[in-house]
Structure 1
Amino acid sequence: MGQVRVLVCEDDLPLGDEVAAGLRAAGFAVDLARDYAEADLKIAVNRYDCLVVDRGLPDGDGLDLVRAQRESGRRTPVLMLTARDALADRLDGFANGADDYVVKPFAMDELTARVRALCRRQELPASTRTEIGDLVVDRPRRRVHRDGVLLTLTPKEFGVLEMLAARAGSVVTRTDLIECCWDEMAEPASNVVDVVMTQLRRKLGDPPIIETVRGVGFTIAPPP
């Protein structure tokens, strides 16, 4: 994957410049739009890995821009950046296609980390069905079968398994799992990954299919 390209749509000039500068300092390529119309035009002619969109734009609600992207079939991750902090506003954002929500004022480090996490999800291959031995991971239906038996997984367990399956044969680090599968800013040193991994291994049953690579992370491969 080349340099990650992000579109920031923010009508507050100083804030937009600050966000763009912060993301560029973190290694992202950043385009800046000041209103709905400019953002819509740039999205039409460029490919972005993530959109950072303010809701209160001078020519419309940023959420309408997100809704229009989803209705057109675009799945680019979207982070809503807004002063609207009510629960109803956040739920409305998620219901209409937003992937994450950051309320102003915010820490630039947190915004950068959340954008990076959304972009990492885009690195997963487009294949909709992955088979590893007798394990079948059906991404669109969010179903998992092992030896023909349908397994009941939590959303977090499915997310972890989906990422491991997408990179089958390669080692996935704990940090990668946290950034891809946890929307909250979970600490890499915490045991959240171990807890989910224990539950997931129990549900997958024998023979074991997930291997721990000590000091690095995890890998998944068909049992010998």
Structure 2
Amino acid sequence: MNTTTHPLLQAFFPYGDVIAAVLRIMGVCADGQDSDDGSHDWSHLIRVWKLVAEIAADDPALDLEMLAVSVLLHDCVQVEKTDPRRAQASRLSAEKASEVLRTLGWNAARIDATAHVIEAHSFSAAIEPRTNEARVLRDADRLDAIGAIGIARTFYVAGRNGSRLYDPLDPFATDRELDDRRFALDHFETKLLHLADGLTTATARRIGERRIATMRAYVELLRDEIATPRSTA
């Protein structure tokens, strides 16, 4: 694998060696295909690792190599949001990650700890993180779902799953139940604008506050642009 060209090896510095080893075990080569899901592709992994590194700067006791591997593998089994198995995705990823790390030669305790980091990151799984590494990955993954990138990912996923942008008669669900399976805009209120409430680390909370403000500002701009003109009759 070419360590000078593969985007993941460059982004995960200084843990490129272990990342390269994991990718080899998984059969991913330097010119291999990225995920076909643009919301969970290599760029997502790179963004989450950047956030992990920023959050982890406050805690020198964290196992950063474990976190690097956890970021790389946290979505290694991808399940569409419309799939009934969605809540099992992080558990399935943790199981696959454990197989990879056994091949890599990690000991059982460290494999189990990494599996927990991966399993507990998921919002859908609702697993409470028991370690600081698990808290950091969960915070970083949630931060990547909000802010400007969160807005982009929301509408990308909506298009991928065949949802509409918003309900043309009642965009902000004034007189109807929210339904984020049908309308992308509903997802802001059903989930995204509340994600920062569950952040556990001080750095993540600071970042989350800024990103939620960005999303609220966007919603207000959108409200102005799609407002229905009042009748003059």
Give the TM-score normalised by the residue count of structure 1: 0.29
Comparing both structures, which one devotes a greater share of its residues to helix? 2
Higher relative contact order (CA 8 A, sep 6+): 2
Give the TM-score normalised by the residue count of structure 2: 0.28
